[in-house]
């Protein structure tokens, strides 16, 4: 065991003395030391209850003969950070989380790790750390928030953002806005749709890094506590058998995760995060290959924002395991991959079946024949752009319209709220990429305002930043190269015609190459908005979104 570096031998008497200062016994120090990464805080609804999950995990570890060693981890609430400078820190926090987990695990010679995340950047940050450390590791999240229906319509966080757009457009009064605000988020858990947090928690199952149920068991169910205890017991077995992330996160399991992503209709951010996790394992995800997976994987689920179902409905339908069973039955995933159960995916899925074939449609009767995510290419996105195709209205899958150009999210949202965007427009928000933002802000404000005004079937939005997993409509993000690196998005002028063809994976500005060359000769890169502190360093070191926006 690695922990013997700090617990065994005469030379380690000082180390043992420090452990004993905290109350550890000789017996505890003879057992595997298991790091328990608790990202509890009092600013994220998905994390407010994680102390309860952590205590259950530690109980499981002790039951199985291990010694839990808990430490804390930061987290950003994307909803609270949305729409102001705070959002610049969200994606960047993913790197801090990965680095902090690495630091704690290696500095203290831990034998294994239980990662307890729940929300948007915390899950992928911890996945990156697990892949990098390659210590026996397992995940258990805090679980999704419930969605309630005070007036017969299930609400979620996105409902509130869209209600603001409806209010601005005069379609909702003060009382109506207050009712949505008071009922959309009824308690703890990750926001209840197939947004980024729940997407990534579901994908931990598809990757094989979490026990069945991790992605969908609601935060307030006792089954979540039992899952946490089982997770604590399982990490001790993983340490004893030396089953590591490198045994689990492979080319095949990453393909399984991407296939599950397509079938579920996950957040477009999942592409960014899976790319980053793959890089930690020394592998690359080719964005064009993602389209190949999408082309052969039908979209079987329409959860919010694409549809009216929420994660609690997916859980009742059998959860991620039921979806995987349908995919395996149709040879769409590789069942031979190893998982943290110590068994293969196929062994885990024995006897599993879909419980509601409307929430999880049959492979032969999907919502659409192609997957929920598409990566677009063209002169506007030479290195790719990402859209959640399953949340785009059919009439917007192919669109041409005049560019309405804004150099920041703030400029765009002001124009939208002041009713300056018209039917047919293509809103272009640039200099919001990893470098230009810096931090590649997630933009739920502009997209939900457009939707709340009833324009989501008439207006497209493009950015080198990101859109929230709660976004619906023709919202195309991650445009690479970004504006701050001289990408063509920086050369677009007001009124240029933008051509979007999602079924054919293309996005272009209809301006000839000579004119683009002329504009490029006159282009001057704006000064970075933030040049000091952590974000200043991040801007100097971060890679393109097409490479996962990881630090070089």
Is 3 a residue of the active site? no
Report the alpha-carbon distance of residue 18 to residue 305 in Å, rounded. 51
Q: Are 203 and 261 in contact (CB under 8 A)?
A: yes
Q: Cα 78 vs. chain centroid, distance in angstroms? A: 11
Tokens of 177: 């806005």
Q: What would the 3-class secondary structure string for 56-76 be?
A: HHHHHHHHCCCEEEEEECCCC
Q: Are 413 and 129 in contact (CB under 8 A)?
A: no
Listed in order, strand segments (DSSP E) in 246-378 are 373-378
Report the alpha-carbon distance of residue 485 to residue 34 in Å, rounded. 43
> How many CB atoms are located within 10 Å of the residue 512 CB?
9
Pairing of strands 381-388, 398-406: unpaired
Which residue out of 468, 480, 544, 546 is catalytically annotated? 468
Tally the C-alpha atoms within 13 A of residue 464's C-alpha that lie toward its C-beta: 34
User: Dmax over Cα atoms in the chain, in whole Å?
Assistant: 76
Pairing of strands 475-480, 381-388: antiparallel
Q: Decide: helix, strand or coil at residue 103.
A: helix
Residue 496 is given by DSSP the state P
CA distances from residue 21 to 12, 15, 30 in whole angstroms, order as listed: 14, 10, 16
Pairing of strands 497-501, 398-406: antiparallel
Q: Are 123 and 214 in contact (CB under 8 A)?
A: no
Tokens of 543: 């890679």
Among 351, 358, 353, 268, residue whose Cα is nearest residue 313:
358
Q: What is the DSSP string of 254-300?
A: HHHHHHHHHHHT--THHHHHHHHHHHHTT----HHHHHHHHHHS-B-
Report the alpha-carbon distance of residue 470 to residue 185 in Å, rounded. 14
Q: Are 232 and 68 in contact (CB under 8 A)?
A: yes
Q: Are 332 and 343 in contact (CB under 8 A)?
A: no
Report the alpha-carbon distance of residue 512 to residue 509 in Å, rounded. 9
> How many CB atoms are located within 10 Å of the residue 400 CB?
14
Q: Which residue do the tokens 């393109």 mark?
A: 544
Among 335, 340, 105, residue whose Cα is nearest residue 242:
340
Q: Decide: helix, strand or coil at residue 382.
A: strand
Tokens of 528: 């970075």
> How many CB atoms are located within 10 Å of the residue 543 CB?
17
Q: Catalytic positions, please? A: 468
């Amino acid at each position: 065991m690695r922990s013997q570096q700090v617990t065994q031998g005469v030379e380690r008497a000082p180390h043992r003395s420090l452990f004993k200062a905290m109350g550890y016994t000789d017996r505890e120090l003879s057992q595997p030391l298991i790091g328990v990464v608790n990202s509890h805080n009092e600013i994220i609804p998905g994390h407010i209850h994680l102390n309860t999950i952590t205590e259950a995990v530690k109980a499981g570890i002790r039951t199985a003969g291990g010694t839990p060693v808990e430490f804390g981890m930061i987290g950003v609430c994307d909803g609270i950070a949305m729409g102001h400078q705070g959002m610049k820190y969200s994606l960047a926090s993913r790197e801090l989380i990965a680095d902090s987990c690495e630091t704690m695990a290696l500095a203290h010679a831990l034998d294994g790790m239980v990662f307890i995340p729940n929300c948007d950047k915390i899950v992928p940050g911890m996945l990156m750390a697990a892949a990098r450390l390659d210590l026996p590791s397992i995940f258990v999240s805090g679980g999704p928030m419930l969605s309630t229906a005070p007036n017969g319509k299930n609400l979620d966080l996105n409902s509130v953002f869209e209600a603001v757009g409806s209010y601005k457009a005069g379609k909702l009064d003060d009382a109506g806005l207050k009712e949505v605000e008071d009922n959309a988020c009824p308690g703890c858990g990750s926001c209840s749709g197939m947004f980024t947090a729940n997407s990534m928690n579901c994908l931990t199952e598809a990757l094989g890094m979490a026990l069945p149920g991790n992605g969908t068991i609601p935060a307030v169910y006792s089954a979540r506590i039992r899952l946490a205890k089982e997770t604590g017991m399982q990490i001790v077995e993983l340490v004893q058998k030396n089953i590591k992330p490198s045994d689990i996160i492979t080319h095949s399991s990453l393909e399984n995760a991407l296939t599950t992503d397509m079938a579920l209709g996950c957040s477009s951010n999942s592409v960014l995060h899976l790319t980053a996790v793959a890089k930690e394992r020394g592998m690359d995800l080719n964005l064009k290959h993602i389209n190949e997976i999408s082309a052969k994987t039908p979209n079987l689920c329409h959860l919010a924002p694409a549809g009216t179902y929420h994660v609690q409905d997916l859980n009742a339908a059998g959860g991620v395991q039921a979806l995987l069973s349908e995919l395996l039955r149709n040879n769409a995933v590789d069942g031979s991959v190893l998982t943290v159960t110590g068994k293969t995916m196929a062994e885990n899925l024995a006897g599993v079946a879909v419980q509601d074939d409307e929430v999880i449609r049959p492979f032969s009767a999907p919502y659409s024949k192609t997957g929920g995510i598409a990566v677009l290419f063209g002169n506007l996105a030479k290195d790719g752009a990402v859209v959640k195709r399953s949340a785009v209205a059919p009439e917007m899958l192919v669109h041409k319209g005049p560019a309405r150009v804004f150099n920041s999210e703030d400029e765009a949202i002001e124009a939208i709220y002041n009713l300056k965007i018209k039917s047919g427009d293509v809103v272009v928000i640039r200099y919001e990429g990893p470098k230009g933002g810096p931090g590649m802000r997630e933009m739920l404000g502009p997209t939900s305002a457009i939707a709340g005004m009833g324009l989501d079937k008439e207006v497209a939005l493009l950015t080198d930043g990101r859109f929230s997993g709660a976004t619906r409509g023709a919202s195309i993000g991650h445009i690479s190269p970004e504006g701050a690196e001289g990408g063509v998005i920086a050369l677009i002028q007001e009124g240029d015609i933008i051509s979007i063809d999602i079924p054919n994976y293309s996005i272009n500005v209809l301006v000839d190459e000579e004119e683009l060359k002329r504009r490029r000769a006159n282009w001057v890169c704006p000064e970075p908005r933030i040049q000091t502190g952590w974000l200043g360093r991040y801007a100097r070191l971060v890679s393109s979104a097409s490479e996962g926006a990881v630090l070089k």
